[in-house]
Amino acid sequence: MFIDEAKIRVKAGDGGNGCMAFRREKFVPRGGPSGGDGGRGGDVVMESSERHNTLVHFRFNPEYKAERGRHGEGSNRTGREGEPVILKVPVGTILYDADSGERVHDFSHVDERVVIAKGGRGGRGNQHFATPTHQAPREHELGRPGEERSYRLELKLLADVGLVGFPNAGKSTLISRISAARPKIADYPFTTLEPNLGVVTVGEPPDDDSYVVADIPGLIEGASAGHGLGTQFLKHIERTRLLLHLVDVSDSSGRPDPVEDFKVILGELTSWGTGLEDKPMIVVASKIDVANPEKLAKLKRMSTRRKLPFLAISAVSGQGIERLKYEVGARVREMRDAGGQAQQAGESLPA
Domain range summary for the chain, segments of one domain joined by +: 5-155, 161-348
- Residue in 53, 86, 55, 83 with CA at minimum distance from that of residue 69: 83
User: According to the model, what pLDDT value does residue 160 have?
Assistant: 87
Is 324:311 a contact under the CB 8 Å cutoff?
yes
Taking the C-alpha atoms of residue 96 and residue 54, their distance in angstroms, rounded to an integer, is 17
User: According to the model, what pLDDT value does residue 223 have?
Assistant: 45
* Sign of the dihedral through C-alpha 292, 296, 301, 302: positive
Taking the C-alpha atoms of residue 69 and residue 97, their distance in angstroms, rounded to an integer, is 26
User: According to the model, what pLDDT value does residue 208 have?
Assistant: 65
Q: What are phi and psi of 150, to 5 degrees?
A: -115, 135
Taking the C-alpha atoms of residue 144 and residue 59, their distance in angstroms, rounded to an integer, is 30
Q: ω before 206 within 30° of 0 (cis)?
A: yes
Is 38:17 a contact under the CB 8 Å cutoff?
yes
User: According to the model, what pLDDT value does residue 183 have?
Assistant: 56
Q: What are phi and psi of 69, to 5 degrees?
A: -75, 150
User: According to the model, what pLDDT value does residue 222 have?
Assistant: 52
Is 145:227 a contact under the CB 8 Å cutoff?
no
The DSSP result for 320-348, as a single string, is THHHHHHHHHHHHHHHHHHHHHHHHHHHH
Domain 161-348 fold is Rossmann fold (3.40.50)
Q: What is the DSSP letter of 2?
A: -
Which residues, 6+ apart, have CB-to-CB distance to 251 below 8 Å?
A: 290, 292, 295
| CA atoms lying within 13 Å on the CB side of residue 84 | 15
Pairing of strands 196-202, 209-215: antiparallel
- Cite the beta strand spans of the chain per DSSP E: 5-11, 22-23, 32-33, 44-49, 63-65, 85-90, 93-97, 103-106, 113-117, 148-155, 161-164, 196-202, 209-215, 242-248, 281-286, 310-312
Taking the C-alpha atoms of residue 248 and residue 291, their distance in angstroms, rounded to an integer, is 8
What is the three-class DSSP state of 194? coil
Q: What is the DSSP letter of 174?
A: H
CATH number of 5-155: 2.70.210.12
Please list the residues that pair with 117 across neighbouring strands: 44
Taking the C-alpha atoms of residue 9 and residue 281, their distance in angstroms, rounded to an integer, is 40
- Residue in 299, 277, 65 with CA at minimum distance from that of residue 169: 299
Taking 3-state DSSP, the helix, strand and coil percentages for the chain, each rounded to the nearest 5, stand at: 25, 25, 50
User: According to the model, what pLDDT value does residue 206 have?
Assistant: 57
Taking the C-alpha atoms of residue 123 and residue 110, their distance in angstroms, rounded to an integer, is 36
Q: Tell me the C-alpha to C-alpha distance, in Å, between residue 139 and each of 12, 124, 134, 336.
A: 26, 9, 11, 62
Element (H, E) at 288: none
Digit-coded pLDDT (tens) for 183-236 = 555 444 444 456 777 888 887 665 667 888 888 776 655 544 444 454 556 777
Q: Taking the chain (351 residues) in consecutive chunks of 10 residues, what is each chunk's mean pLDDT?
A: 81 96 81 93 94 84 96 94 95 92 92 96 94 91 96 86 84 84 52 68 72 75 49 73 90 83 86 82 92 92 94 90 91 81 51 42
Q: Which region holds residue 13: left if phi is over 0, alpha if psi is between -120 and 50, else beta?
A: beta
- Residue in 208, 174, 168 with CA at minimum distance from that of residue 188: 168
- Cite the beta strand spans of 156-235 per DSSP E: 161-164, 196-202, 209-215
pTM beyond 0.85: no
